[in-house]
Structure 1
C-alpha cells in the first residue's frame, strides 16, 4: 500500500505492509508525517512500511502487543526528559518484554532529543520557515525564540521532575496510575498579557510541587511497592534544574535537546503571530473572523475570549505551518548526513531492513 499513516475509523490499524513503524502523536502529527515521507524516500522506494501514529508511548506498546504477531514492529517513542542512558535502558526493557510475549519486534528506540519537535528548532529549519511564513527577519525569529526560553524555564524544570517521578513509579508499580498534576502544567505555563508573555512565579510552582508530591506519598504510603524520594530531595532537584535551565540562550544546545520542544515551538509561532500576523486562509480564516479579526491582523492572544479560543487558532496555525517545517527538516536530513535527526532516522531504517 503506502507509507502514509494508517488509521481506520473501525479501529483496525492493519495496512498491507509487512512492517509497522509505531510512533507517538496523531495521524496528522509531526511524527507520522515526517516518518512517512522519510520511509518513502529510502531504499529506492522499495521499503514497504506502514507508519502508525499511536498517541502515546503506552498506546504504542498496546498496539505492538495487539498486532505485532502478524506484522513486524519497530517503535520510536519520545525521550520525555530521560537522559540517554535511561532512554536506552527503557527501550531495551520494552523490546525484551514484547519479544518475550511473541511480538515480531525488530527494534524499539527513543528520539535522541526530547521529542520530534525539538529537531524543528534548529536554526537551519526554523528560521527559513518562519521568516517566509510571517514575512519577518532572522532577528525576529531569534527574538521570538529567546522570549520563549525566558518564559518556559519554570515549566520545563517542573515537567522534568514530574517525568522522573513517573518513570520510577512505572518501573516500580506499572499496574497503578502514575502521578500527574494538572495544576503544575497550567500554573507553570506563561500566559499572554498586553505586554507579552507573563513571568511564571517559580516559588508558587515550587509550593504546588511540594503539595502534589506530598499527596503522592500519602496515596501509596501503605502499598510497599512505591519508593519515592522525600519531598525535600525532590524540591532540591527542582531548584537545581531550574538554576541550570534559567538564562539559556538561543545558541545553547541544552534546551534544543532536553526541553519539551513542542512548548518552545508553540510560543515561537504565537510570538510571531502576535507581532507580524500572516495571510490567513482556509479554515484559519474562518476561525479568526469569528474572533473579529481579518487577514493580516496580528493575533492579540491576551484579548481572545478564553483559552479555548486561543487553542483553536493555535491548532490551525500549527496545522498550516507544519508541512513546511517537515519538508525543510527532510531537506536538511537528505543534504546533511551528520545532522542531528539523521542518526535517529538511519537507525530505524536499519532496524526495518532486518
Structure 2
C-alpha cells in the first residue's frame, strides 16, 4: 500500500549554487518554457535538449518549507546516511533527505562564447526543506552530502553522468529557481502536519458485473509467502482513452486462485504488480531512459516505458484496476 499524493505548491528560495560538467553526450527532457527553443535544436523531438560532453551544469540548492522535512533520527543514523549506508526512502523508520528536482532548463553562461553568441548551460533546481539549512552551512561534510544527493538525483532522472569536480560560483543561484506544483506522498509529512495522512488503499475493489462483461476483482491484497517458483516479467503496453491512461498488463497464466494473493501498488511514477510464483512487474518511471530500456529489454515493453515516462504522472487518487479474464489482461486506469 502507498500513501496518496497531494498537490503542493513550491516557491523555492535560493540557497547556494554549485557547478559541474556533463561527462557524456546525451539529451535531457526540457521544461515547458524551454520546449520552443529545444524544438529548433533537435528536429523531431521538441521536448529534448542536447547535452554535449563538457557542457556546464549548474545545480541550484534551494529551500522551501513545503518540501517534507527529514524524519527524526539519531546522529548515528544521520552519519550512516552520509556514508551511503541504510538510505531507503521507502522505509518509514529510515533516515533520508527529501528532495524535489526540477526538469532541466537552459541559461546563458557568460563564461562561454562561441561565434559571438552565448552557449547555454544546463540548470537544475534541487529543493530541500530549510530544516537542514543551518547544518548544511556549518558542516562541510553534510554540505558535500547534500550536493552529492542532488547530483545522484540528476543522474537517476536523466542520462547525464556528472563530473564530481564541483565548483562553487559566487552566486546564490544560476537564474531564478522556478515555482512549481508537485505531488508529494502525504505520509512523508510528520504526524500533526496539515498535509500528513497515513498510508491508505489506493486502488479500490471494482463492483461485480455480469459474466458476459469484464470480470474485475480486488487486486490489492496482503501478499502471501511465495514459493520457490520463479516469477517472470509480463509484457505490457499503454494507451490513452478520453484523457485517461490505460496500462495493459498481459497475464495469460493468472487464475482466480492466484488473484487473492496478488498485489498492485501505484504511485505517481511507479507501478508495482506481483502475482506470486507467476509475475513480478516494476515500472519505475522515475528511472533514467537507459535503466528503463535495460529493465524491459527482454520484453516488447522497453519503448512503452520510455514513452509513458514522457506522458504525465499517473493519477493516483482516481486510479482503478480490473482483471479481464477473457482477454487475459490486467487493466490499470490512471
What TM-score does the superposition give when structure 1 sets the normalisation length? 0.23
What TM-score does the superposition give when structure 2 sets the normalisation length? 0.24
Judging by fraction of residues, say which structure has more helix.
1
Judging by fraction of residues, say which structure has more strand.
2
